């Protein structure tokens, strides 16, 4: 996704190719430090439990040293790959980041890939210098407006604050025209995250907008989508956006309408 970005204070605005602007609040060091400490405690707890279990298992056979050695191997793996694995499979979050409601994204607002997740955590060893006090990472963070440490700069990532309530519940789409248009979408259609967020924002607020104004607002996103799906010129663009919302969040997901809460970055989000 090619995007234009602009930043004001600690908020960054990302404009998608669909001309949709999203704002994120960049997480600073004092928001990230508690997340790091939580993850450190989790790693230590896991390592202690694993080491005790291994020492008991091998100790029964008289190989206490082997159990201890494998415990050290477990600590090595947790130290280098804990963050990368969680961020790769948990959509940019570790347990600590999830508790502190922050998330790692690429600088264009897209989810990070596995390479970015692993590499930014491996490069934490550089940020931690000298010793383990992270002075190098803190200096790097103070020299850019996204508070990005060296690992983030190298991988093209940033840490943002999760919006706590992007969408509360689902909106039922009852217009027959919208339902009919939802059925005309290609079988393999999946909405990307930026499009899904735009559809959710539009449908959740359209009830407060007069019909004439709905058409005007819907034209900005609906007209490119109408051309993309090769629909006739007279297509009701308001119904088109409602139909895509219905297809994305209700038909394809087959979720109950009262259980979809939280942020578009959660695992239930449709990804392109």
Q: Where are the domains of the chain?
A: 29-161, 167-262
Give the pLDDT confidence score for residue 2 in this predicted structure: 46
CA 263 – CA 268 distance, rounded (Å):
9
- Encoded tokens for 96: 């600590």
52 C-beta neighbours (distance < 10 Å), count: 13
Give the pLDDT confidence score for residue 265 in this predicted structure: 41
What are phi and psi for residue 193, nearest 5 degrees? -65, -45
Taken in order 111, 114, 120, 121, is the CA torsion positive or negative? positive
In order along its 272 residues, the chain shows pLDDT tens digits of 445 555 545 778 776 655 556 678 899 888 899 999 999 999 999 999 998 998 888 888 878 788 888 889 999 999 999 999 999 999 899 999 999 999 999 988 888 999 999 999 999 999 998 877 888 999 999 898 889 999 999 999 999 998 654 444 567 788 888 888 888 888 777 787 778 888 888 888 888 888 888 888 888 888 999 998 889 988 999 999 999 988 888 775 544 443 333 344 443 333 33
Give the pLDDT confidence score for residue 267 in this predicted structure: 37
- Encoded tokens for 205: 């607020």
Give the pLDDT confidence score for residue 236 in this predicted structure: 92
Burial class (CB within 10 angstroms; exposed 0-12, middle 13-18, buried 19+) of 119: middle
Buried b (16+ CB within 10 A) or exposed e, 218-247: beebbeebbeeeebeeebbbbbbbbbbbbb
Give the pLDDT confidence score for residue 196 in this predicted structure: 83
Give the pLDDT confidence score for residue 169 in this predicted structure: 57
For β-strands 11-15 and 21-26, DSSP reports them as antiparallel
Query: Which H or E element spans position 11?
Result: strand 11-15
CA 264 – CA 244 distance, rounded (Å):
16
Partner residues linked to 5 by β-bridges: 14
Partner residues linked to 262 by β-bridges: 167
The H-assigned helical ranges of the chain are 29-60, 64-89, 95-99, 114-122, 124-127, 135-142, 150-155, 176-183, 193-205, 211-228, 237-245
177, 183, 186: which is closest to 234 by C-alpha? 177
CA 75 – CA 57 distance, rounded (Å):
18
Give the pLDDT confidence score for residue 119 in this predicted structure: 95
């Amino acid at each position: 996704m090619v995007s234009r970005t602009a930043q004001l204070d600690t908020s960054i605005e990302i404009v998608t190719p669909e001309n949709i602007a999203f704002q994120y609040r960049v997480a600073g060091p004092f928001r990230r430090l508690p997340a790091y400490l939580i993850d450190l405690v989790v790693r230590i707890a896991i390592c202690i439990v694993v080491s005790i279990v291994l020492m008991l298992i091998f100790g029964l056979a008289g190989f206490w040293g082997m159990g201890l050695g494998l415990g050290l191997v477990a600590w090595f793996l947790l130290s280098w790959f804990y963050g990368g694995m969680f961020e790769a499979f948990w959509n940019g979050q570790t347990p600590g980041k999830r508790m502190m409601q922050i998330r790692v994204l690429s600088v264009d607002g897209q989810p990070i890939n596995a390479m970015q997740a692993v590499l930014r955590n491996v490069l934490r060893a550089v940020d931690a210098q000298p010793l383990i006090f992270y002075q190098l990472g803190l200096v790097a963070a103070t020299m850019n407006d996204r508070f990005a440490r060296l690992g983030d700069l190298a991988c093209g990532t940033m840490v943002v604050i999760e919006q706590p309530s992007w969408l509360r519940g689902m909106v039922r789409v009852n217009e027959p025209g919208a339902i009919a248009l939802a059925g005309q979408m290609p079988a393999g259609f999946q909405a990307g995250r930026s499009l899904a967020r735009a559809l959710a924002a539009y449908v959740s607020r359209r009830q407060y907008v007069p019909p004439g104004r709905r058409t005007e607002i819907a034209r900005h996103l609906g007209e490119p989508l109408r051309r993309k799906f090769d629909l006739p010129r007279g297509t009701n663009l308001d119904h088109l956006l409602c139909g895509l919302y219905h297809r994305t969040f209700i038909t394809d997901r087959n979720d109950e309408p009262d259980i979809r809460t939280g942020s578009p970055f959660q695992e239930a989000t449709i990804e392109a």
